């Protein structure tokens, strides 16, 4: 009975605490024409769409994927013009503001 009361009290206090703020996504752009936006972080994954300079990208996070172009970092991103979401190799995206955390 005492343990139930303690758990209830802790849960009640936890409910009053503010939730941790979500990490803001980074904003950036594609560095080339026809940058592939893929279903996963490898060259063999399905291409969902393409990104072009000037379309803008929201970069949500990064993963370690297939090693190519000197690195294995891929960004999970959303094309701000077309709305296409997927993974693009980090060599072809540049972010201007924000922080890119691991997914």
Q: What is the pLDDT of residues 36-76, one digit of tens each?
A: 999 999 999 999 999 999 999 999 999 999 999 999 999 99
In the prediction, which pLDDT does 1 show? 46
Digit-coded pLDDT (tens) for 5-45: 433 443 443 444 444 345 568 999 999 999 999 999 999 99
**pTM for the full predicted model:** 0.76
Note the pLDDT of residue 80: 98
Q: Which residues contact 97 (CB under 8 A, 6 or more apart)?
A: 26, 27, 28
User: How many C-alpha atoms does 43 have within 13 Å on its Cβ side?
Assistant: 5
HSE-CB for 57 with a 13 A CA cutoff: 33
Structural domains of the chain, ranges and CATH numbers in brackets: 21-97 (2.30.30.40)
Place of tokens 């077309």: 82
Question: Of 43, 33, 20, 35, which is closest to residue 78 (Cα–Cα)?
Answer: 35
């Amino acid at each position: 009975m005492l343990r139930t009361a303690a758990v209830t009290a802790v849960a009640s206090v936890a409910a009053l605490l503010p939730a941790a703020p979500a990490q803001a996504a980074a904003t950036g752009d594609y560095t080339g024409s026809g940058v592939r936006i893929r279903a996963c972080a490898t060259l063999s994954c399905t291409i969902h769409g393409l990104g072009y300079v000037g379309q803008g990208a929201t970069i949500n996070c990064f993963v370690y994927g297939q090693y190519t172009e000197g690195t294995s970092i891929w960004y999970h991103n959303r094309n701000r013009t077309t709305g296409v979401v997927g993974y693009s190799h980090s060599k072809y995206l540049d972010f201007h503001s924000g922080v890119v955390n691991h997914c």
